[in-house]
Amino acid sequence: MHAYYFDNLPTDQRLPHITDPARPVSPETLAKLGVLSWVVPVPPDAASPSNSQGISEEEDCEVNRVAKEREYKNRDVINVSREGMVAVFGIFGVGVGFFDVRETPTDAWIRIAVAPGDLLVLPAGIHHRFTLDTKNQIRALRLFKDEPKWIPHARSGATDTNVHRVGYLRDVGAGIVPAVGVSA
């Protein structure tokens, strides 16, 4: 995983969008926003699924450890391509993509490049978006506190008063790493 400030240039979103000069973002800065990450070793032949989730037993043990520790009860595997998006969000096997999260209080976009083996937690209430890279495909494992579901919410006055957003802003403002759940 590699995080940095997004350059905001109006070019193809699938490009890296690294500022010049580059402005990296540390794991500590991400943690203050409630964004947590782990690296789960992915074997070189991970493109061929080894179980129903497409991950090896070793990977599954680490994912299970994180899921138990953070109380995620459900999961699903999605294939995302340019044609459609079927996010914790773990990249296993194939693909690279970018999660962009809004830094609070600056409102700057932070881009997080994710690749096979990256396991990322986005707290409920954080403004975020996902973009594929130019290869246009990724297979990902998502973890959920409850039933697997993902409902997109366009940023608006209504989203700013959403219970998860309000709780997130309260927790970040108090210096608490949000643990409400995953915005996936």
Tens-digit pLDDT string for the chain (184 aa)? 899 999 999 999 999 999 999 999 999 999 999 999 998 877 666 554 455 555 667 677 888 898 999 999 988 888 888 776 544 566 665 788 999 999 998 999 999 999 988 999 898 899 999 999 999 988 888 888 888 777 788 889 888 899 989 999 999 986 766 654 433 3
Cα separation of 116 and 97, whole Å?
10
- Closest residue by Cα to residue 124 from 63, 31, 34: 34
pLDDT of res. 55: 64
Topology, domain 2-173: Jelly Rolls (2.60.120)
Separation of alpha carbons 68 and 84, rounded Å: 30
**What are the angstrom distances between the C-alpha of 163 and each of 106, 123, 124, 167, 179?**
21, 13, 9, 6, 14
Q: What is the pLDDT of residue 180?
A: 42
Is 0.85 topped by the overall pTM?
A: no
**Calpha distance 42→153 (Å, rounded):** 32
C-alpha to C-alpha distance for 143 and 68, rounded to whole angstroms: 11
Q: What pLDDT does 75 receive?
A: 87
Rounded Cα distance between 156 and 179, Å, is 23
